[in-house]
């Protein structure tokens, strides 16, 4: 069964304290891995897409990496405005369309 | 503003009632996806439409149905509502039917069934 697991469930950091979020997956036929940011009561906001092992993407203080079994979202010197839930999703080939399977997210709180 | 518009933002209704949620995709996007997000389940895929036709089905209950109109907007109909249907309902859109490049989400409709 296709599965996406994110850890930790919640993470509290001090401003400037770098860390990493993990997304591990067991799927057949990975078509892509996506990272989203979600603020309370709002829709997920697209951050990155990764397609193959070894690929890396960066945006401001965020860097996403991908291996054959997991992805990491590295947050360097975070600021309070980085506080949000970070969602990982994998696109799995499903015939006519890809299925997008989401993890349950990591709730990040960055304290000043 | 993501470009995906959902209305209404909030909806409060009683058990047994029927509601309709509306979604206008981002300009140029042909696919619309509906997701349900509850506290204990995370984001669950319900259904996808591509250029007016149903493309894929997820964990959508028989009490729920959807359609996509010629102007590409979509509606999600929820009937015989139960307390457990209370959740955030998101619409997302993508240019193609495969979703290879990710989806753009709307800001959601918060449904409360009392």
Q: How far is B25 from chain A (nearest CA, A)?
A: 14
Percent of chain B, pLDDT > 70? 96
Coil, strand or helix at A112:
coil
Cα gap A29→A27, rounded to integer Å: 6
Instruction: Give the pLDDT band of residue B22 (cuts 50, 70, 90).
Output: very high
Q: How far is A86 from chain B (nearest CA, A)?
A: 12
Yes or no, beta carbons of B106 and A43 under 8 Å apart: yes
Cα gap B90→A9, rounded to integer Å: 22
pLDDT over 70 (residue A84): yes
Mean pLDDT of all residues in A23-35: 89
Does B108 touch chain A if contact means CB atoms closer than 8 Å? yes
Give A49's contacts in chain B (Cβ within 8 Å): 101-102
Give A96's contacts in chain B (Cβ within 8 Å): 55-56, 97
Give B31's contacts in chain A (Cβ within 8 Å): 97
Yes or no, beta carbons of A43 and B105 under 8 Å apart: yes
pLDDT over 70 (residue B17): yes
Partners of residue A109 on adjacent β-strands: A12
Closest by Cβ to A43, choosing from B45, B102, B108: B108
Cα gap A35→B36, rounded to integer Å: 18
Mean pLDDT of all residues in B93-105: 78
pLDDT over 90 (residue A99): no
pLDDT digits (tens, 9 = 90+) for B25-73: 999 999 999 999 987 778 998 999 999 999 888 889 999 999 999 999 9
What is the pLDDT, as a whole number, of residue A101?
87
DSSP state of A61: T
pLDDT over 80 (residue B21): yes
What is the pLDDT, as a whole number, of residue B56?
86
Mean pLDDT of all residues in A48-53: 91
Tell me which of A37 and B40 has the higher pLDDT: A37
Contacts of A41 (CB under 8 A, 6+ apart): B88, B108, B110
Q: How far is B98 from chain A (nearest CA, A)?
A: 5
Tell me which of B30 and B96 has the higher pLDDT: B30
Structural contact between residues A99 and A1, judged by C-beta atoms closer than 8 angstroms? no
Give A103's contacts in chain B (Cβ within 8 Å): 42
Contacts of A27 (CB under 8 A, 6+ apart): A2, A3, A4, A90, A92, A101
Cα gap B43→A80, rounded to integer Å: 25
CA B80 to chain centre: 17
Please give the mean pLDDT across all residues of chain B. Answer: 92
What is the pLDDT, as a whole number, of residue A92?
79
Cα gap B68→A51, rounded to integer Å: 30
Burial (CB count <10 Å: 0-12, 13-18, 19+), residue B52: middle
Chain B residue with minimal CA distance to A30?
B100
Cα gap B50→B63, rounded to integer Å: 21
Cα gap A93→A73, rounded to integer Å: 23
Between β-strands B42-50 and B104-105, what pairing exists: parallel, antiparallel or unpaired?
unpaired
């Amino acid at each position: 069964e296709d599965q996406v697991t994110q850890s930790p469930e919640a993470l509290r950091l001090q401003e400037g304290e770098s860390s990493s979020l993990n997304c591990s997956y067991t799927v057949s036929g990975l078509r892509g891995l996506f990272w989203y940011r979600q603020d309370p009561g709002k829709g997920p906001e697209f951050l990155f897409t990764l397609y193959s092992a070894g690929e890396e993407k960066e945006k401001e203080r965020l860097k996403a990496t991908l291996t054959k079994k997991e992805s990491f979202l590295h947050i360097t010197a975070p600021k309070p405005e980085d506080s949000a839930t970070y969602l990982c999703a994998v696109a799995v080939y499903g015939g006519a369309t890809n299925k997008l399977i989401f993890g349950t997210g990591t709730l990040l709180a960055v304290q000043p | 503003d993501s470009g995906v518009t959902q209305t209404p933002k909030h909806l409060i209704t009683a058990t047994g009632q029927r509601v309709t949620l509306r979604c206008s995709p981002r300009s140029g996007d042909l696919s619309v996806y509906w997701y349900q997000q509850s506290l204990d389940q995370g984001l669950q895929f319900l259904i996808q439409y591509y250029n007016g036709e149903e493309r894929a089905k997820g964990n959508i209950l028989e009490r729920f149905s959807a359609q996509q109109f010629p102007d590409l907007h979509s509606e999600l109909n929820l009937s015989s509502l139960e307390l457990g249907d209370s959740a955030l309902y998101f619409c997302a859109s993508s240019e193609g039917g495969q979703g290879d490049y990710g989806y753009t989400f709307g800001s959601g409709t918060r449904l409360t069934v009392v």
